[in-house]
Amino acid sequence: MKLLSVVAMMTVALVVLTAPWDAAAEQQTPAASQTPAPAAPVSAQAPVRPPFPPDAKYAYLDLQRVASESNDGRAANERVEALSDVKIAEIEALNLDLQASQQRLQQNANVMSGDAQLQLQREIERLSRDVERMSQDAESEVQELQQTLQLEFQQKLVPAIDRIAIDKGLDFIFSAGDGGLLWANPALDITADVILEVNASVQ
């Protein structure tokens, strides 16, 4: 059964890949991104999933898990993070030049000639425009990469779900992450099956 709603649900599922990226905000608060997250407590081993009922005609899956746990999803997130880090470093370097020029003007305003002050003010204005333009360009570049990776992921995800549905003889597959699924039999969770199928897909 073809799952026509999967593409629409991918916008919700791929939160990491489609979240808006604010380059200006990132470069203004570099310390926050460098602070290591607290170590997660050691959790007990995940319970073994009950066998899938052979006569079941419906199932559910967590698309967010597929996006974050599959090989392609993790690789996509790493590519977005790597590009973001590069762009943030470039913006921070230019912002340091801007701050240095602003500080030089503040400290030497009383001893600088009028022409020198005017030239430095123009330099500060140019650097400010460059920082703003670079931030906008970086955000667009990261978003373009996110969209490209999302489309590439969909090209593997949709056929993988389709194959699982056909293999298990399903009539419906529900999304566990859209707020409509309040409770379901864990045996009907095919998320792990879809992750394995996506990982096995070859473009």
Report yes or no on 29 lying in a domain: no
Per-residue pLDDT at 203: 58
Report yes or no on 40 lying in a domain: no
Task: Extract the tokens encoding 78.
Answer: 């790493």
Measure the CA–CA gap between 162 and 171, rounded to whole angstroms. 11
Tokens 């969909």, located at residue: 154
Per-residue pLDDT at 43: 45
Q: Is 90 exceeded by the pLDDT of residue 178?
A: no
Q: What is the DSSP letter of 164?
A: H
> Could you tell me the pTM of the whole model?
0.69
Q: Is 70 exceeded by the pLDDT of residue 27?
A: no
Residues 6+ apart with CB under 8 A from 173: 3, 58, 59, 60, 61, 161, 164, 165, 190
Alpha carbon 26 to its chain's center:
14
Report yes or no on 92 lying in a domain: yes
Q: Is 90 exceeded by the pLDDT of residue 102?
A: yes
How many other CB atoms sit within 10 Å of the CB of residue 110? 5
Per-residue pLDDT at 37: 46
Per-residue pLDDT at 45: 58
> Which structural domain range is residue 167 located in?
6-17+54-200
Report yes or no on 28 lying in a domain: no
Given a contact cutoff of 8 angstroms between Cβ atoms, the answer to whether 161 and 192 are in contact is: no
Contacts 24+ apart (CB under 8 A), 87-92: 87/23, 87/134, 87/138, 87/141, 87/142, 88/23, 88/26, 88/27, 88/30, 88/33, 88/138, 90/134, 90/138, 91/23, 91/24, 91/26, 91/27, 91/131, 91/134, 91/135, 91/138, 92/27, 92/30
Q: What is the DSSP letter of 172?
A: E
Task: Extract the tokens encoding 173.
Answer: 């597959």
Report yes or no on 60 lying in a domain: yes
Convert the pLDDT of each residue in 31-89 to its tens digit.
Answer: 333 444 444 444 445 567 789 999 999 999 999 999 999 999 999 999 999 999 999 99
Report yes or no on 138 lying in a domain: yes
Mean pLDDT on 177-203: 85
Among residues of the chain, what percentage have pLDDT more than 70? 75
Report yes or no on 158 lying in a domain: yes
Convert the pLDDT of each residue in 129-170 to its tens digit.
Answer: 999 999 999 999 999 999 999 999 999 999 999 999 999 999
What's the mean pLDDT when you consider all of the chain?
81
Report yes or no on 141 lying in a domain: yes
Domains: count for the chain: 1
Distance linking the first and last C-alpha atoms of the chain: 22
Alpha carbon 117 to its chain's center:
44
